[in-house]
Structure 1
Amino acid sequence: MNIEENVQVVKDFFAAMGSYNKQDLLALVAEDVEWIVPGEDWPLAGTHCGHAGLAAVLRKASEEVEMTYPEPPEFVAQGDRVLAIGIATGKIKATNKPFKDDWVFDITVRDGKVTNIREYIDTQAMARASETDASSRP
């Protein structure tokens, strides 16, 4: 696939995530997709593998996090890699604490399918918003 087609796959992936159209979403990702969300001390951190892992992290995200994207992401691509760059704002539902997250998704597309997602996010902002008063750090 060419770069423009890879970018379109990523745009379609984000659109399917936004509407949580499970069928469209799974059609866009490889069976062995790997999604790495860095960090500790917040609900979505970890490595999520395969269709089941993808569905689980997205379900958990809808349960745990309220998020909006005030501006559409920017896309930068080379070869089979597409970077999606954006900003998210929202709150962690359990704590009702807000966050602002500047993020980059590094996405690999092979044969028309998303095969790997590596998020680069403001893990500190997410962890702080996830802290309860009892777990707050000095």
Structure 2
Amino acid sequence: MSAEENKQMVQQLYRMFQQGDIPGILAHSSDDSDWISPESELVPFSGHFHGRQGLADFFTKLGENMQAIRFEPLDFIAEGDKVVAMGEASWLVRSTGRRLDSPWVHVFTIRDGQMVRCQALTDTASTVQAFLPEPAAQASPRTELHH
């Protein structure tokens, strides 16, 4: 596939995500695909997820722990088998009630029309902060964190 076709495929993956079509994303992922993000013991969907089942686990954990308020891919750059997507997102962290606004970058590797790797880069400090439990005396119902 050409770089332009790879870019169009990644754009299609984002449309599927926005529509909640996780099975569609999995169908466009290779059997041995990898989803990799910085690891934190506080963030249940962080780290390395391998294979279609691993990707399914990632999306399940993401949905269980965060509610998307806004998820917007803004720019795409493609060269060879790589596609870089940049965007912004706003999430509600279900366990703390905090809102997290963060830019993100995803670096995809596409082979034979399938996603084989995604390296996800986000504002990890703000993400971890949004998941930190507050002591009961200091807890506020909603704390907004911005990048």
In the alignment, structure 1 segments of 5+ residues that lack a partner are: none
Match of 1:126 in 2: 127
Letter in 1 for 2:27: A
What's the CA shift string for 1:22-79, capped at 9, x where partnerless?
A: 3321221111110002131222111001110111110111110012336442101111
Q: How does 1:42-121 map to 2 (within 5 A)?
A: 42-69=43-70, 71-121=72-122
CA distance in 1 between counterparts of 2:72 and 2:63 reads 20
CA distance in 2 between counterparts of 1:23 and 1:130 reads 27
Letter in 2 for 1:115: V
Letter in 1 for 2:101: K
Structure 1 stretch displaced more, 98-107 or 35-44: 35-44
1:35 equivalent to 2:38? Answer no
Higher relative contact order (CA 8 A, sep 6+): 1
Give the TM-score normalised by the residue count of structure 1. Answer: 0.91
Match of 1:21 in 2: 21
Match of 1:7 in 2: 7
Q: CA 1:36/1:72 → structure 2, altered by over 3 Å: closer, same or farther?
A: closer
The two structures, once aligned, show a CA RMSD in angstroms of 1.6
CA distance in 1 between counterparts of 2:32 and 2:67 reads 28
Identity, in percent, stands at: 30
Give the TM-score normalised by the residue count of structure 2. Answer: 0.85
Runs of at least 4 residues of structure 1 off by over 2 A? 68-73
Deviation at 1:106, TM superposition (A): 0.4
- Which of the two has higher C-alpha Rg? 2
